[in-house]
Structure 1
Amino acid sequence: MHILLADNHPLVLWAFQTLLEEIRPGVTVRSVCTPAELRETLSQGLPCTLVLLDLQLGTQGEGYALLAELRMNHPDLSVVVTSASDHPADVIQSIDLGACGYLPKRMSMTALADALRLVLDGGIFVPPMSLPEAAHPHPHHAASAHAAAPRQGETAPYQTQPSFEALGLTPRQADVLSLLLQGKPNKEIARRLGLSVETVKDHVQAVLRALGVNSRTQAVLAASQLGAKRSGAMAAPLR
């Protein structure tokens, strides 16, 4: 596995590299400190599976533009945002632009390690937060949400693995959800699954209904709150 760290803080780079090498021995980790270095490294065609992108890389506000640029120019590359902010608006905008996850730097090392394990195994991670009402799982998932709630004195888990059968998704709809979680547009989903764009649109609407949400971004947030993981029939882990 080849991972690219895009951050301009040496201590943060060291911490992420140390964690990644502990979690996944044998992983290849490279780092860049500027948007120009990031673009140049990716343009060289070197192997890269995952980019951890600091939202504050470059000038103010450039992180979002970089994220959009990466998703447009490298659609097969998984991008997870890292940030000193855990504000819901930043999380939502990052997911809306196609990020596969959002890691607040203020998390404890233990929590960050758990989040990185989830990401490296092909899952998505967003920090626990108060979502818009429409982004919460449908009421018929209340039992699953309740089961994931921590007991008194326990640390709240960030993610739990739900039963996708409980969502009522067909295998094809699960495939569509997997690609939604990767930030893929309908045309790309159609190409990958050998479907028409109209059929993909129908599947997307079915997924949104199953999750009880109104948009693709809300679907990603709701799925991550349920602990949705791109594994098995949904997608292969990152390699």
Structure 2
Amino acid sequence: MKVLLVDDHPLILTALKAMIENLVPGVVVNAVSSAKEARFTLRVQQDHDLMLLDLQLGDANGFELLTDVRRTDPELSVVVLSSSDRASDVIQAIDLGAMGFLPKRMTTEDLADALRLVMAGGIYVPTMTVNPMRDADEPPPAPVAAHATGGAGNGDSLPSFEELGVTPRQADVLMLLLQGKSNKDIARRLGLSVETIKDHVQAVLRALGVSSRTQAVLAVGQMTQQRRGRN
């Protein structure tokens, strides 16, 4: 696995690099301290699996860099690191395509657990209340990585469809929804009509108690944390 770590604080950069290398044997961590370095690294090394991005960079706004990366490299998974844990920042990051949001104020143990989760392909967001914000028919956010194992979860993946309260087919739709696929793309992949997919999406959102795709990502992330806490 290859990780790009972007943080303009030297001590945090060094500490996070060491933590990640200890968590996953054989992982390669490229640590850079600016948006300029991050863009250059991604341009010359196009085989990164995960980007850990600080929002407060000296030469750029982290949200701007996140937007650029999702546009130029949509297959790269991005997780935001921030000293903020405001709900508005979490929602904006997820809405822009981040697959997780890790507050820096987390304890070392909790941060390590969160890093293990996202490096295994799961979704991590801090505990927060998910309120209706948008229409359920809104365009999907940029792709968000998620484990999909036939609708069933494992120790570090998403909850099973039984835990989510959806049918196996709705779980298939949810996995593709979390990856940022449009209703048309989901319909083509599953061999169903767009109208049928719309019905499934509405059923998934009702089961999760949310009203938009972004909120679905947040809700599933929090359910994943709760599930891991019980294991």
Instruction: Give the TM-score band, short-chain normalised.
Output: 0.7 to 0.9
The verdict on how the C-alpha distance between 1:120 and 1:189 changes in structure 2, with shifts beyond 3 A counting, is: farther
Residue 40 of structure 2 corresponds to 40
Counterpart-to-counterpart distance in 2, 1:42 and 1:100? 18
Give the TM-score, by structure 2 length: 0.77
Higher RCO (CA < 8 A, seq sep 6+)? 1
| C-alpha deviation, 1:197, in angstroms | 8.1
Q: CA deviation at 1:204?
A: 2.6
Amino acid paired to 1:217 = T
Partner of 2:75: 76
The structural deviation recorded for 1:196 is: 6.8
Q: Residue type of the partner of 1:97? A: L
Q: Distance in 1 between matches of 2:37 and 2:187?
A: 31
Query: Secondary structure of the residue that 1:103 maps to in structure 2?
Result: strand
> Does 2:85 correspond to 1:86?
yes
Letter matched to residue 168 of structure 2: P
State the shift of 1:132 in Å.
2.4
Distance 2:11 2:25 in 1: 21
Alignment of 1:186 with 2:191, yes or no, is no
* Bigger mean CA offset, 125-134 vs 218-227: 125-134
Q: Say whether 1:206 aligns with 2:195.
A: no
Q: In structure 2, how many angstroms separate the alpha carbons of the residues matched to 1:106 and 1:75?
A: 28
Q: Is the 8 A contact 1:186 1:200 kept in 2?
A: no
Aligned 8 A contact 1:55 1:63 in 2: yes
Query: Residues 41 and 59 of structure 1: is their aligned pair in 2 closer, same or farther, counting only changes over 3 Å?
Result: closer
CA shift for structure 1 position 194: 5.5
SS of the aligned residue for 2:57 comes to coil
> Could you state the TM-score of these two structures normalised by the residue count of structure 1?
0.75
8 A contact 2:56–2:62 mirrored in 1: yes
Give the alignment of 1:28-67 within 5 angstroms: 28-59=28-59, 62-67=61-66
CA offset digits 1:96-151 (Å, max 9, x no partner): 1111000001111111001111111111111122332789xxxxxxxxxxxxxxxx
CA–CA distance in structure 2, aligned partners of residues 38 and 68 of structure 1: 13
Shift of residue 178, structure 1, vs aligned partner: 2.5
**3-state DSSP of counterpart to 1:227:** helix
Residues 186, 201 of structure 1: 8 Å contact kept = no
Q: Give the corresponding residue for 1:174.
A: 171
The count of aligned residue pairs is 204
Contact persistence 1:21–1:27 (CA under 8 A): yes
Percent of aligned positions with the same letter in both sequences?
Answer: 54
Structure 1: which 5+ runs fail to align?
136-158, 230-239
Tell me how far apart the structure 2 counterparts of residues 94 and 71 of structure 1 sit (CA, whole Å).
11
Judge which range, 166-175 or 50-59, deviates more: 166-175
